[in-house]
Structure 1
Amino acid sequence: MDPLSSTFSALADPTRRAILARLTGGEATVTELAEPFTMSLPAISKHLKVLEHAGLITRTRTAQWRPCRLEAAPLKEVTDWLAEYRRFWEDSFDRLDDHLRELRKKKDR
């Protein structure tokens, strides 16, 4: 799977998005990341493996701790990809605004 597809696949799950949101505040252990969820640690670990495979997080080992850290580079790739579509929609809305202005002018005549 290409990197962009891996990123979108990882972001498709709300639990994984919540984990990423938590990591914007800094490193966290698996136990800390699991706290707000009603799922087992092995289930959280599976989510973390998906995020790690997509390059969205890294896990390090310090003694018995395995802190997770957000890696933002794949999110930048998503943002860059979406920017093209944003321009498309902004241009489309600008054309619609122009058209509506023309219609109003015709109506006011």
Structure 2
Amino acid sequence: MMTGVLKIGMKSDYTYGIVSESIFFQIFLILMMLMMMMMMMMMIQFLQFRSAIMNFNVYRKKIVYSYQFNYLTFMKISVIREAMVGINIAPPPQWNSVPNDEQLIDLIKRMTGS
């Protein structure tokens, strides 16, 4: 349709009227094409970013399920830890001060018998 559009400053064989032959309209078309390319690249980057976030969520769920702890188990661990610090009960002798998470997990496993 527009064979003479990108010949800037040269008269083409066909005349589409004043609009398509003017240099301003051709510069406007080039700017529009650049804008389209920029928008396409931004959309592609956004889709890659979103898929990376989704992959990270799947990976995190795999980690949590591989230890076979859900959110409630972590809540129980933190509640027991807060209670032991708050009541100030004597911890077992192998714990020096505040128990860390691995020792609490061992305690819960011994309590539940799993």
Q: State TM-score, norm by structure 2.
A: 0.34
Structure number, greater radius of gyration: 2
Which structure's residues are more often strand, by fraction? 1
More relative contact order, 1 or 2 (CA 8 Å, 6+ apart): 1
Q: State TM-score, norm by structure 1.
A: 0.35
